């Protein structure tokens, strides 16, 4: 739930956080501000609204090597209003929206999508799981690339729609699973 994530005191203990959910980054109609959020379950509390919003993410205290956002369009931008609410200015391009919120919260890198996460052929699931199949000692960037190549090599998922939408923002040279 959104409350569970916001109130969890040990988030800074996790090296990898994976959010496999729906992302809301596109304004509902032209002229509306972009207010990026991840869809969560509702908690049975008055403060729960079923969304982990930009400002709430930014206020999390993380120490993560990697945040994976397996959701649609998570590399999208945030509107000026959502950005200003956190005390930030500027932004634009890839380093904005949910990516900016998670980097600001303390993640060293974020894997986010530039378009809808494909469900057909379990492509997104295979992509993310495939990163970990390649061995944890590999750099994050190499692990993502190896998983993308596996999808490219499959006739069903060879089109870039299935594998090219996900990109790393941040430190892609860090090992996928760092030694402790």
Q: What tens digit of pLDDT does each residue of 10-29 get?
A: 999 999 999 999 888 766 66
What's the pLDDT at 26? 66
Number of independent structural domains in the chain: 1
CA angle 118, 72, 113 (to 5 degrees): 90
pLDDT at 120 > cutoff 70: yes
Q: Per-residue confidence at 115, pLDDT binned at 50, 70, 90?
A: confident
Give Cβ neighbours of residue 66 (< 8 Å, ≥ 6 apart).
Answer: 15, 16, 17, 107, 108, 109, 110, 111, 140, 174, 176
Domain that holds residue 114: 1-180
Q: Supply the pLDDT for residue 94.
A: 47
Q: Which of 53-57, 63-67, 134-138 has the lowest mean pLDDT?
A: 134-138
Percent of the residues in the chain that have a pLDDT greater than 90, as a whole number: 60
pLDDT confidence band for 72 (50 / 70 / 90): confident
């Amino acid at each position: 739930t959104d409350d569970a994530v916001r109130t969890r005191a040990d988030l800074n203990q996790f090296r990898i956080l994976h959010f496999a959910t729906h992302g809301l980054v596109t304004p509902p109609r032209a002229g509306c501000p972009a207010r990026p959020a991840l869809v969560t379950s509702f908690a049975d509390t008055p403060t729960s609204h079923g969304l982990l919003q930009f400002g709430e993410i930014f206020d999390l205290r993380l120490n993560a090597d990697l945040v994976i956002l397996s959701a649609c369009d998570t590399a999208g931008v945030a509107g000026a209003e959502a950005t200003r609410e956190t005390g930030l200015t500027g932004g634009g391009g890839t380093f904005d929206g949910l990516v900016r919120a998670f980097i600001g919260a303390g993640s060293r890198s974020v894997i986010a999508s530039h378009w809808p996460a494909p469900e057909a052929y379990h492509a997104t699931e295979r992509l993310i799981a495939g990163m970990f199949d390649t061995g944890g000692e590999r750099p994050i960037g190499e692990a993502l690339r190896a998983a993308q190549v596996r999808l490219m090599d499959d006739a069903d998922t060879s089109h870039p729609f299935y594998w090219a939408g996900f990109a790393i923002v941040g430190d892609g040279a860090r090992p996928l699973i760092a030694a402790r």
